[in-house]
């Protein structure tokens, strides 16, 4: 019977939460920006906005404060509106799947951030509302071509604003590698030289992650390779494309086999792993995203930070170049024109002042001129590389194609399959998948 007390303790524990809960949300009534809204609680118009936790609600206080200011200005310019904010977690796949499922069920947010790689899926699902009326023709014309193409639907309507882009570049510690290698051969040689000096060699994503396929695809695209035909069916394992695919695969395979890249690249699944090696000074070269430049600047002491320089990704020859371009879009999922317009306004807030604040790359040339934040020398390299930018194909089969490329790269990099064999197996898997 003595145990009765324990049961009561346990029950009490489980109730405390239920009772204390209502006390909490009543705290901040008149703040203009709170955890779940921007604007006054009793505003007459409202829309729901599903955003990532990278800006307004960033765990980094400086970023969050900057965006609170931007949003405060914004909502003061749109009196009578309240934005009910809904957070997306960093769990990218589940988040995008959830928005789709909710949108199908008519419970989606009015406005949402969508990964540029998923835009095609959302477009095909027919859940995005046209926004064309809320942009001027000049604004639309000024978008980078690959961006404009990705956000335009079959009717010629703009259905999203791809508000920032990113790209892949070659990083090098200029103290160790003074000249930027331009070709695959030069890159391998330069990496081998750094290995002789005690560094790890060239690092890149090689594990099971989207970044692996996407970073590497630049080398396939540089040769003019094409992943899918106009119907969206995969063609990369046939004919000329097959040769180009194998050549790019051979480039990675040779890097590992020659020791120019360590075998552990097959385990690298986040860009942070690579930043870590650069910060710790164990590598002098890596293939990374443009945002890592700023990370290195804030992580390393000034004298070391300025050693790190960026250049365009190498090609099979110096004039065959490409780089994968990603980023995020904002799109409306509502039928209400007023909400769609508001969503477009939010998208513009992110594209202009938002990008300037975060130093993310805008998708429109004019914005680079408009803001001083984009004046650094690294932006010249990024801008030049963007001319060879290539977005992921806007087809629903891309995620599976990427999945197969990740698998085959892993097999090649861990030396468990020869490139030809790995490609044939991926092709077989895709053939089974596409016969429905």
Partner 1 sequence: MVSRGGILANVATYAAAVLIAAFFLVPLTWLVSLALRTPQEIFFGASRFIPENPTLDNFGQVLRDRGFLNYLWNALKLSGLGALGSVIVAAPAAYAFSRFDFRGRGVMMMAILAVQMVSGLVILIPLYRYMGWLGLLETHVGVIAIYIAIGLPITVWLLKTAFDGVPIVLEEAAAIDGYGHFETFLRITLPLASPGMASALILNMILNWSQFLVPFIMLSRDAQWPISVAIYNYAGSTTASTTHLLAAACLITILPAILAFLLLQRAIVSALTAGAIKG
Partner 2 sequence: MPKPIAQALSRRTATTPEASSIPYWAWLLPVMLVIGAFYIYPIIDALRLAFTDATLTGGAESYTVRSLQRVLSNPALPTILSNTAIFTAASVVGQQLLGLSVALLVVRGERHHLPGMLVLRTIVLAAWVVPGIANGVIWSMLFSESPFGAINGVLRLLELPTVAWLSNPANAMLSAIIANVWQGTAFSMIVLYAALKSVDPSLYEAAAVDGAPAWERFWFITLPQLKAAILVNSILITIQTLNTFDAILALTGGGPGRATEVLSLFAYNTVFYQFDLAGGSALSILLLLISLVLAALYMLFMPKRDM
- The residues that touch partner 1, with contacts defined as CB under 8 A, are 1, 3-4, 6-7, 9-11, 13-18, 20-21, 24-25, 27-28, 35-36, 50, 52-54, 57-61, 63, 85-87, 89-91, 94, 98, 101-102, 105, 107, 109, 166, 271-272, 275-276, 278-280, 289, 291, 294-295, 298-299, 358, 360
Q: Which stretch binds partner 2 (CB under 8 A): 48-56, 63-71, 125-133, 374-382?
A: 125-133
Integer Cα distance of 19 and 87 in angstroms = 25
* Smallest separation (angstroms) from partner 2 to the CB of 112: 15
Nearer to partner 2, 19 or 432 (CB): 432
The entry of partner 1, partner 2, none that residue 107 binds, CB within 5 to 8 Å by partner kind: partner 1
Nearer to partner 2, 78 or 98 (CB): 98
Integer Cα distance of 271 and 288 in angstroms = 7
If binding is defined by CB under 8 A, does position 399 make contact with partner 2? yes
Q: Which of 58, 63, 258, 282 binds partner 2 (CB under 8 A)?
A: 282
The entry of partner 2, partner 1, none that residue 17 binds, CB within 5 to 8 Å by partner kind: partner 1
The entry of partner 2, partner 1, none that residue 26 binds, CB within 5 to 8 Å by partner kind: none
The entry of partner 1, partner 2, none that residue 14 binds, CB within 5 to 8 Å by partner kind: partner 1
* Smallest separation (angstroms) from partner 1 to the CB of 108: 9
If binding is defined by CB under 8 A, does position 34 make contact with partner 2? no
If binding is defined by CB under 8 A, does position 400 make contact with partner 2? yes
Residues with Cβ within 8 Å of residue 250, at least 6 apart in sequence: 419
């Amino acid at each position: 019977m003595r145990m009765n007390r324990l049961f009561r303790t346990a029950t009490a524990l489980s109730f405390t939460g239920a009772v204390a809960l209502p006390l909490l949300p009543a705290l901040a009534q008149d703040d203009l920006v709170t955890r779940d809204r921007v604007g006054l609680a009793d505003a007459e118009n409202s829309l729901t906005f599903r955003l990532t936790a990278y800006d307004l609600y960033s765990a980094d206080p400086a970023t969050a404060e900057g965006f609170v200011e931007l949003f405060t200005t914004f909502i003061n310019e749109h009196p009578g509106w309240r934005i009910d904010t809904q957070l997306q977690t960093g769990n990218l796949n589940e988040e995008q799947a959830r928005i789709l499922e909710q949108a199908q069920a008519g419970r989606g947010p009015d406005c949402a951030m969508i990964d540029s790689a998923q835009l095609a899926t959302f477009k095909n699902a027919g859940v995005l509302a046209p926004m064309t009326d809320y942009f001027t023709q000049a604004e639309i014309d000024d978008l980078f071509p690959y961006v404009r193409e990705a956000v335009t639907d079959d009717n010629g309507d703009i259905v999203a604003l791809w508000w920032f882009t990113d790209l892949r570049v070659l990083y090098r510690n200029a103290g160790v590698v003074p000249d930027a290698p331009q070709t695959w051969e030069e890159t391998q040689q330069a990496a081998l030289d750094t290995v002789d000096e005690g560094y790890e060699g060239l690092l890149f994503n090689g594990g099971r992650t989207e970044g692996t396929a996407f970073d590497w695809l630049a080398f396939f695209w540089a040769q003019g390779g094409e992943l899918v035909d106009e119907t969206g069916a995969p063609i990369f394992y046939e004919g000329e494309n097959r040769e180009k695919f194998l050549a790019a695969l051979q480039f990675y395979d040779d890097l590992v086999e020659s020791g120019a890249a360590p075998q552990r690249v097959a385990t690298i699944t986040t860009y942070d792993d690579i930043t870590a090696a650069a910060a710790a000074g164990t590598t002098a070269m890596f293939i990374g995203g443009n945002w890592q430049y700023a990370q290195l600047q804030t992580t390393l002491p000034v004298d070391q930070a300025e050693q790190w320089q960026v250049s365009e990704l190498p090609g099979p020859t110096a004039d065959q170049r490409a780089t994968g371009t990603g980023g995020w879009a904002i799109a409306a999922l509502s039928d209400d024109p007023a909400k769609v317009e508001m969503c477009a306004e939010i998208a513009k807030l992110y594209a202009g002042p938002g990008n300037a604040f975060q130093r993310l790359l805008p998708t429109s040339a004019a914005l680079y001129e408009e803001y001083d934040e984009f004046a650094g020398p690294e932006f010249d390299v990024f801008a030049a590389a963007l001319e060879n930018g290539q977005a992921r194909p806007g087809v629903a089969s891309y995620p599976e194609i990427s999945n197969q490329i990740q698998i085959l790269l892993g097999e090649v990099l861990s030396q468990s399959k020869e490139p030809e064999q790995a490609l044939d197996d991926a092709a077989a898997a895709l053939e089974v998948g596409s016969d429905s």
